[in-house]
Amino acid sequence: MRVRVQRGALGFLALAVTGSALGLVFAGSPERIAAGVRIDGVNVGGMKPGAAQRLLERRARRLERVPVVFVAGQRRWRVTPQQLGVRADWHAAVGLARRHGDGFGPLRGFRRIGVRVFGAQFAPPARVYEAALGFELNRFARAIYRPHRDPQLRLHGLEPVVIRGSAGQKLARPAAARVVVAALAGFSRQPVALPVRSESTTISAGELAAAAARVRIALSGPVQMRWRTISWTIAPQQLRAMLVLPGEGSARLRIGGPAAERYFARLTRALNRPARNAGFAVSQGGEVGIIPSRLGRKLDVAATSASLLEAALSQDERTARIVVAIEKPGRTTRQARAMGIRGLVGSYETIYGGDANRVHNVQLVAQLLDGHVIAPGSTFSFNRATGARTAAKGFREAPVIINGELGTGLGGGVCQVSTTVFNAAYEAGLKITSRTNHALYISHYPLGRDATVDYPDVDLRFVNDTPHWLLLRTFVGSYSLTVGLYGTPQHRRVVTQARPLVETGPPPVKHEPDPSLTRGQTTVVDGGEPSRSTSVRRLVYQHSKLLYDDTWYSSYRAEPKLMLVGTKPKPAPAKKRKKKPPVTTTTTTTTTTTTPTAP
């Protein structure tokens, strides 16, 4: 056993010595490139790196203006390295080749044996002017591009026909960029094929053939449409216009297009009916009746289209069902009865007039409020119910009080409606939480019971403190506005105690120059109004029980007394004429002496 181990060790040692000797024989000089190495086809084996680099650079300079022919199908393009600014890095290529056969002693020799036997090929890294490369690639791509053409299904009369398509092609741009740069950086001037990618069709002719068979069934006869007990027929020619044939990558057959849209639009107009909420009808005596609610219906176009297509593709039962969705009302008759709106709770009437714009605004805001319902315990807000008074809603310019002075503004006249609503809630004995008097006194409103609003800051608010809903109705006549609050009558008694209107200050005097009056002259054109104040106390009783004892104080600003002051200069005084000297004449006179008589 020991003898065999010793023999094995001696054999391994002999083999190692022989291998090392062989490696040293083929190791060669580390200063030279290993034999068998080629750089872009040029044999540089056995050369020193510097000499190999100079050889490669000389060849490259000779080929700078020699074009490479790039080929795609029947198209050819000639491009030179100089055109694209292609520069090969031969120093890096030589360094890579040198390292491939490098190493220490016997190890280098073994590596170089492999290179000598199998060879080694290197391509140089290269730089390129990207803009020029992009330009050339665009040129190639435009010429190579051919879009694919999908097979198509067409109708000749009622017969479907499949028209075959064709595949497309386009330049494989990233791969083409690498191919172009590598070809121009190298020494070969053989034609180079550009990488082209095929674009297949998105749908096959076989898929369209199956779709054509479905189209033949669909157009093989009429289709019956049915809704309840009514039915009618769609002829094959009419159905043909409503079929959308497969295309754009899809083999799906469907109902659609302008003809189908027109058909279902007509059907929608005939079948659709909006749901109607239960409403309230007020009689002249103040009693409230219920207008019953009504279910609505709406044609389900998508489901009806699917039903029509299913019937058309059937060879037996060719009847399509009209699909109609039921729409429920927001307030049913039962819910309306449960709201407890039965009779008048409180109302008030004011007379309106003025210019046409003011009357328009009164009528418009009354319409916005009409039909408003107030839940038990909730607060009614005038501003929230009507929203901003804007021109987009139809409000017009009309007289209005702005900063305590009469002027013109958008929505003038709205405060008459708010005053009428306030007094209706006042007479109903409801809890009023926000009310603001006008800046100026208005005599045609009840004393101390006017209410102004200004969106969004100045609001009128009251609370439905009854156990039932309230309905607010507005009735606009030719000269008057009536606001009524309807619910379950509470039989409240309202007692009003109004303090007389008292003057709190004289009107200020406002002077305005008038060039038609002489200086020193004045004329009063508006006597103005003094500032005033009043208050109203309201006591609300229900079954002899005092519910509310409220007092509203109102202070009104003074309106200035307008006085015109003359600014025209006084006329200059007339000049006196000089008297002529008396003319002396000699005459004979008789003097008569008169003796005065004492009184």
- Could you report the per-residue pLDDT of 313-352, keeping only the tens digit for each? 998 889 999 999 999 999 999 999 999 999 999 999 999 8
pLDDT band at 26 (very low <50, low <70, confident <90, very high): very low
| Fold assignment, 500-536+551-569 | Resuscitation-promoting factor rpfb fold (2.20.230)
Percent over 70 (pLDDT), the chain: 86
Dihedral angle, C-alpha 247, 253, 254, 256, nearest 10 °: 40
The helix or strand, by DSSP H or E, that contains position 373, with its residue range, turns out to be strand 372-374
Residue for token pair 């007289």 = 399
Domain boundaries, the chain: 2-142, 207-336, 346-490, 500-536+551-569
Euclidean distance between CA atoms 300 and 304, whole angstroms: 6
The predicted pLDDT at position 106 comes to 54
Helical H runs in 389-431? 414-428
Euclidean distance between CA atoms 533 and 500, whole angstroms: 9
Quick check: 119 pLDDT over 80?
no
Q: Which of 2.60.40.420, 3.10.20.800, 1.10.10.10, 3.40.50.720 is the CATH number of 207-336?
A: 3.10.20.800
The helix or strand, by DSSP H or E, that contains position 192, with its residue range, turns out to be strand 192-193
Structure tokens at 16: 């190692």
The helix or strand, by DSSP H or E, that contains position 484, with its residue range, turns out to be strand 480-487
Mean pLDDT confidence for 462-468: 97
Strand partners, 492: 542
What single DSSP character describes residue 166?
A: B
* Paired sense of beta strands 230-234 and 223-227, if any: antiparallel
Mean pLDDT confidence for 117-137: 86
Structure tokens at 299: 């044609």
If one compares 458 and 582, the residue with the highest pLDDT of the two is 458
Percent over 90 (pLDDT), the chain: 67
Inter-residue contact 205 to 164 (CB < 8 Å): yes
Mean pLDDT confidence for 412-425: 95
Euclidean distance between CA atoms 399 and 389, whole angstroms: 14
Inter-residue contact 413 to 397 (CB < 8 Å): no
Q: At what angle do helices 49-62 and 90-100 cross, to 10 degrees?
A: 140
Mean pLDDT confidence for 67-84: 95
- In tens, the pLDDT along 512-567 reads 998 988 888 889 888 889 999 999 999 999 999 999 999 999 999 999 999 998 88
Euclidean distance between CA atoms 238 and 225, whole angstroms: 13
The predicted pLDDT at position 29 comes to 62
If one compares 481 and 111, the residue with the highest pLDDT of the two is 481
If one compares 378 and 409, the residue with the highest pLDDT of the two is 378
Which amino acid is present at 198? S
Euclidean distance between CA atoms 185 and 177, whole angstroms: 12
**Residue 485 — left, alpha, or beta (φ > 0 → left; ψ -120 to 50 → alpha)?**
beta
Instruction: Residue 320: name the closest of 334, 330, 310 by CA.
Output: 310
Which amino acid is present at 485? L
Question: Which own/partner contact pairs does 226-229 have at CB distance under 8 Å and 24+ positions apart?
Answer: 226/319, 226/320, 226/321, 226/322, 227/271, 227/321, 227/322, 227/324
Inter-residue contact 455 to 418 (CB < 8 Å): no
If one compares 137 and 316, the residue with the highest pLDDT of the two is 137
Quick check: 12 pLDDT over 60?
no
The predicted pLDDT at position 42 comes to 87
